[in-house]
Amino acid sequence: MANTGWDEFEIGAMLRTFNEPIENIAGTLQEDRPYSENSSFRASVADWRIEKPVFNKDYCIDCQFCWIYCPDVSIISRDKKMIGVDMDHCKGCGICVEVCPTNPKSLLMFEEKADEEQAIANWPTKEEKEK
Amino acid sequence: MSEMKKIKNLKEFSTSADRFEGANLLCPGCAHSIIVREVLNATNDDLVLSASTGCLEVCTAVYPYTSWDASWIHIGFENGSTAVAGAEAMYKALKRKGRLKQPDRNPKFISFAGDGASYDIGFQWISGCMERGHNMMHIVLDNEVYANTGGQRSSSTPIGASATTSPAGRVSYGEKKNKKDMVAIMAAHGIPYAAQVAPNKWKDMVKKIQHGMAVDGPVFINAVSPCTTEWKFDPKDTMMLADLATDSLVFPLYEIIDGHELNITYRPKNVIPVEEYLAAQGRFKHLFKDEYKHLIKEWQERVDANWEYLNRREEARV
């Protein structure tokens, strides 16, 4: 199916997201799902990014604002904890950084080529609020 | 399965397993997918979905990929709502005849469409679905323009916005007609529930979606969807734009029950001047030139009058 060209595609054909039936999709996390080749979960838009978000766990308060407002299902939250960014599906829009409420922010945008460890080492410190 | 999903706070909400996938081709910072995720995560029940032609449809079903983890169909520009209505009618008939394999599962029937497919092209079809009383929900992702085809004006485009078929320039300030009040039109069908929602107020959104799923009958939801490409703002500012839209009362959040009982569900603590909402978007840039400045005042007056109208209707309970 995945190798079929667009002109060989039958009219009214169906794309199946999963290779086998799932009884309860809403209760099955993404890592446990048998995605087929036709799910865009298997694709990547990583090359769209100019800047990437870097996550600094030390300042995160697990408010989950980034999870709810991520347009690309790229914030990975498990057991009510934010655990990282899905770099295959992140398009680098920067919404997660904008909605992050901590001071300093626990997510910041860096150049795509930037080294993550170095970015975390040089993280900005707390900003004093102007009175 | 059929009991309502409990969502007390955002932490609890974040344990949801998304049924919408990334690597779709929507623009970075598009509010469509934020709205879709909030809607789909509001329930654990099975879903029967459709999308009318528009950004959401072309970007989530690019051969050979699909971004949907549920039954999903696309037919034409106008008939996403009737496709779902047909599925719902079939479901009801099979249930009545006792031919459903799992009759205890309660699938939810939802059709998504843009404002072009709802306000203009699919208007008659949606009106039919609402009138026939199908047990379904129609959700409009209202970005006030035909964004998919290059930014032509729709009947949702507000006064003063520059669109490719109503461009602003020396002789024109852009779109000249005011936005259609779709929620009121749909509520006038006497449907059990019609509401306006915004992605930045996720709790309000989830509450309204769950209410809409619980009632028996057609439900109409109008969701504000700031469009980074056609409203011309930076992708990272999508949520800021949504905040400006709700807090300036350009998009007031309210619900209409049974076609007459209007409740305002969100009252901003600090109401922001409409000017700030307009200034944040490139499509209204020309309004700040001297010759078109009077339009900003008109905008504010119109928004104030609408807010006054909603308040009066809420008081009157008619």
Distance between CA B231 and CA B45 in Å, rounded? Answer: 35
> A14-23, A94-103, B94-103, B127-136: lowest mean pLDDT where?
A14-23
Decide if pLDDT at A73 tops 60.
Answer: yes
Q: Looking at CA atoms only, how far is residue B166 from chain A in angstroms?
A: 29
User: CB B236 to CB A93 under 8 A?
Assistant: yes
For residue B18, the chain A residues in CB contact (below 8 A) are 30, 73
Distance between CA B13 and CA A67 in Å, rounded? Answer: 10
Q: How far is CA B13 from CA B18, B32, B39, B248, in A?
A: 11, 19, 12, 28
Distance between CA B80 and CA B84 in Å, rounded? Answer: 7
Phi, psi dihedral angles at B45 (to 5 degrees): -75, 165
* Residue among B69, B237, B238 whose CB faces A25 most closely: B69
Asked if residues A33 and A22 have their Cβ atoms less than 8 Å apart, the reply is: yes
Asked if residues B246 and A103 have their Cβ atoms less than 8 Å apart, the reply is: no
Question: Which CATH fold would you assign to the domain B17-316?
Answer: Rossmann fold (3.40.50)
pLDDT (0 to 100) of residue B1? 45
Distance between CA B118 and CA B142 in Å, rounded? Answer: 9
User: CB B25 to CB A45 under 8 A?
Assistant: yes
User: CB B240 to CB A98 under 8 A?
Assistant: yes
- Does A102 lie at the interface with B, CB-CB under 8 angstroms? no
Asked if residues B234 and B28 have their Cβ atoms less than 8 Å apart, the reply is: no
Question: What is the DSSP secondary-structure string of B278-317?
Answer: HHT-GGGGGGGSGGGTHHHHHHHHHHHHHHHHHHHHHHHT
Name which of B254, B282, B280 is nearest B268 in CA terms. Answer: B254
Angle among Cα B302, B240, B303 to the nearest 5 degrees reads 5
Chain A: residue whose CA lies nearest to B69: A17
Q: Whole-prediction pTM value?
A: 0.94
Q: Looking at CA atoms only, how far is residue B291 from chain A in angstroms?
A: 35
Question: Best mutation site among B5, B14, B59, B72 for testing chain A: the one with the most A CBs within 10 Å?
Answer: B14
Question: CB-side exposure of A32: number of CA atoms within 13 Å?
Answer: 11
Distance between CA B241 and CA B159 in Å, rounded? Answer: 18
A2 contacts: CB under 8 Å, gap ≥ 6: A37, A38, B64
Give the ipTM. 0.92
For residue A63, the chain B residues in CB contact (below 8 A) are 10-11
User: CB B37 to CB A17 under 8 A?
Assistant: no
How do beta strands B219-224 and B193-197 pair? parallel
Distance between CA B49 and CA B62 in Å, rounded? Answer: 17
- Does B105 lie at the interface with A, CB-CB under 8 angstroms? no
pLDDT tens-digit series, residues B133-187: 999 999 999 999 999 999 999 999 999 999 999 999 999 999 999 999 999 999 9
- Does B139 lie at the interface with A, CB-CB under 8 angstroms? no
Distance between CA B38 and CA B203 in Å, rounded? Answer: 9
Distance between CA A38 and CA A13 in Å, rounded? Answer: 12
Domains of chain A: 1-43 (no CATH), 44-113 (3.30.70.20)
* Residue among A30, A62, A97 whose CB faces B236 most closely: A97
Decide if pLDDT at A129 tops 90.
Answer: no
Peptide bond into B107 cis (omega under 30): no
User: CB B22 to CB A94 under 8 A?
Assistant: no
Across the 318 residues of chain B, what is the mean pLDDT of every consecutive 10-residue run?
81 94 94 96 95 94 90 92 96 94 91 95 95 96 94 95 94 93 95 97 96 96 96 96 96 96 96 96 95 95 97 91
* Residue among A9, A43, A64 whose CB faces B23 most closely: A43
Count of C-beta atoms within a 10 Å radius of residue B130: 25
- Does B179 lie at the interface with A, CB-CB under 8 angstroms? no
Domain ranges of chain B: 17-316
DSSP E strand stretches across chain B: 47-51, 71-73, 108-114, 137-142, 193-197, 219-224, 254-257, 261-264
pLDDT (0 to 100) of residue A64? 95
pLDDT (0 to 100) of residue A15? 81
